[in-house]
């Protein structure tokens, strides 16, 4: 591995933008001083960002790692994978995004993830007394965090995962040092998630709004939100099920995010990007994180808040202490863009270069 210095770029360090300065990289790490025979990259007029983190993707093909990296997503957090072999293969893709995964998500034995999305039947969990063994199995498989599926109750349908089971999974996961992220698509399931003690919930409801009081509860418990507006907008635009319930609207998602933000809830950026045709919608890997920023902007999230949500804040929440900021000692995961994304977030699309652990990928 070599040494290089990016010169004359303004630097968004994960928190704020600096005047033009130098950023030095030696052997994959950001350093205080330039290395011997350091190559120079002149980046006048550009802004250097920490590599972007998408906190909600699904990897079904190792090639996705390269697509993500191409769009500046240097870390991708898989939120449920039906084939651990694919995740393993993805981790070996040269020039690909660095991947973490929940592995198999927790859902009931006959849940949609098994019935429709192709997850093995053996990963169904039927009650709280199975929680400890279920979490231990995921930890043994290498899950980096635990994903819990909280679906709404529908008459005549098999029962979704029950609140007491969710709470037992949270207890077991926390005892094992793992964070828990809940999939919630309604106000009621989001309430169950938060009452169960999860660390984060993902998605924002299309059919109702997370209210001001609930948002305050979320904030006071320190639970974070990963809104996946890209997924919700795609579903609202092209409803994927036979009957579109009245009241379904992307505006509900925006209003929920406004309420969460106003209450001071920490927001982490995530898209639900995937390429699995069996899912309700498929935001494109990599590109959709830039769409996510623009949609977050529609809810009043500022460009700087969006950038933090996909860099320093995401790294802090997921315990990725070696990245998410531009700072000596951290991994040289870097994205160089034209224009100023702290003023106009669409500038994150104008990518000049991407480096993952100091290796240039674009």
Q: Which of residues 191-220 bind Zn ion (CB under 5 A)?
A: none
CB of 316 to Zn ion, least distance (A): 21
- Pick the piece of the chain touching Zn ion (CB under 5 A) from 35-43, 68-76, 268-276, 347-355: 268-276
- Pick the piece of the chain touching Zn ion (CB under 5 A) from 4-12, 93-101, 140-148, 271-279: 271-279
- Pick the piece of the chain touching Zn ion (CB under 5 A) from 158-166, 188-196, 267-275, 300-308: 267-275
CB of 105 to Zn ion, least distance (A): 9
How far apart (Å, rounded) are the C-alpha atoms in residues 325 and 312?
6
Measured at CB, which residue is nearest to Zn ion?
272
- Please check whether residue 224 is in contact with residue 265, taking contact to mean a CB–CB distance below 8 angstroms: yes
Say which residues have a Cβ less than 8 Å from residue 326's Cβ, sequence separation at least 6. Answer: 11, 12, 13, 14, 23, 30, 48, 49, 50, 334
Nearer of residues 230 and 311 to Zn ion, judged by Cβ:
230
Nearer of residues 31 and 228 to Zn ion, judged by Cβ:
228
Q: Which of residues 42-81 bind Zn ion (CB under 5 A)?
A: 79
* CA distances in angstroms from 287 to 64, 272, 359, listed in the order given: 11, 12, 21
| C-alpha dihedral (230, 235, 240, 245), degrees to nearest 10 | 160
Is there binding between residue 272 and Zn ion (CB under 5 A)?
yes
CB of 25 to Zn ion, least distance (A): 33
CB of 57 to Zn ion, least distance (A): 8
Q: Which of residues 76-105 bind Zn ion (CB under 5 A)?
A: 79
Is there binding between residue 151 and Zn ion (CB under 5 A)?
no
How far apart (Å, rounded) are the C-alpha atoms in residues 332 and 24?
9
Other C-beta atoms closer than 10 Å to the C-beta of 19 total 6
Other C-beta atoms closer than 10 Å to the C-beta of 89 total 15
Q: Which of residues 230-259 bind Zn ion (CB under 5 A)?
A: none
Is there binding between residue 287 and Zn ion (CB under 5 A)?
no
- In sequence order, what E strands does the chain have? 3-11, 21-26, 29-31, 39-42, 46-50, 52-57, 73-78, 98-101, 146-150, 180-184, 200-202, 224-226, 334-338, 351-356, 359-360
Q: How many residues interact with Zn ion (rule CB under 5 A)? A: 2
How far apart (Å, rounded) are the C-alpha atoms in residues 80 and 242?
25
Nearer of residues 314 and 351 to Zn ion, judged by Cβ:
314
Nearer of residues 272 and 287 to Zn ion, judged by Cβ:
272
Nearer of residues 13 and 54 to Zn ion, judged by Cβ:
54
Nearer of residues 272 and 333 to Zn ion, judged by Cβ:
272
What's the DSSP call for residue 47? Answer: E
Helix axes 287-298, 229-237, angle to 10 degrees: 80
- Pick the piece of the chain touching Zn ion (CB under 5 A) from 24-32, 135-143, 174-182, 272-280: 272-280
How far apart (Å, rounded) are the C-alpha atoms in residues 266 and 324?
16
CB of 45 to Zn ion, least distance (A): 37
Nearer of residues 144 and 272 to Zn ion, judged by Cβ:
272
CB of 182 to Zn ion, least distance (A): 11
Nearer of residues 79 and 330 to Zn ion, judged by Cβ:
79
Enumerate binding residues for Zn ion (CB under 5 A).
Answer: 79, 272
């Amino acid at each position: 591995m070599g040494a290089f210095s990016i010169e004359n770029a303004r630097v968004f360090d994960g928190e704020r933008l600096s005047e033009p300065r130098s950023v030095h990289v030696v052997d994959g790490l950001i350093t205080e001083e330039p290395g011997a025979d350091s190559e120079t990259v002149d980046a006048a007029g550009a802004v250097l960002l920490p590599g972007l983190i998408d906190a909600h993707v699904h990897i079904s093909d190792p090639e996705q790692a390269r697509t993500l990296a191409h769009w500046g997503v240097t870390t991708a957090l898989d939120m449920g994978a039906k084939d651990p072999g694919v995740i393993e293969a993805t981790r070996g893709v040269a020039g690909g995004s660095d991947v973490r995964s929940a592995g198999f998500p927790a859902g009931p034995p006959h849940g949609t993830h098994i019935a429709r999305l192709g997850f093995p039947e053996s990963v169904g969990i039927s009650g709280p007394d199975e929680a400890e063994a279920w979490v231990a199995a995921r930890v043994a498989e290498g899950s980096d965090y635990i994903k819990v599926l909280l679906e709404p109750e529908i008459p005549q349908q098999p029962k979704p995962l029950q609140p007491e089971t969710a709470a037992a999974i949270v207890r077991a996961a926390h005892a094992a040092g793992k964070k828990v992220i809940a999939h919630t698509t309604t106000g009621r399931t989001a309430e169950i998630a938060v009452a169960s003690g999860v660390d984060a919930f993902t998605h924002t409801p299309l059919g109702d709004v997370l209210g001001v009081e609930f948002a305050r509860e979320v904030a006071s418990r320190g639970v974070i939100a990963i809104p996946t507006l890209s997924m919700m907008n795609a579903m609202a635009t092209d409803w994927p099920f036979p009957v579109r319930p009245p009241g379904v609207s992307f505006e509900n998602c925006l209003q929920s995010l406004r309420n969460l933000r106003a209450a001071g809830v920490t927001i982490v950026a995530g898209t639900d990007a995937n390429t699995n045709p069996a899912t309700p919608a498929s935001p494109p890997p990599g590109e959709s994180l830039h769409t996510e920023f623009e949609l977050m902007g529609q809810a009043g999230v500022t460009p700087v808040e969006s950038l933090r949500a996909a860099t320093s804040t995401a790294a802090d929440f997921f315990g990725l202490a070696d990245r998410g900021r531009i700072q000596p000692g951290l991994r040289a995961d870097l994205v160089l863009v034209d224009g100023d994304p702290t003023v106009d977030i669409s500038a994150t699309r104008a990518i000049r270069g991407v480096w993952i652990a100091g290796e240039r990928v674009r």
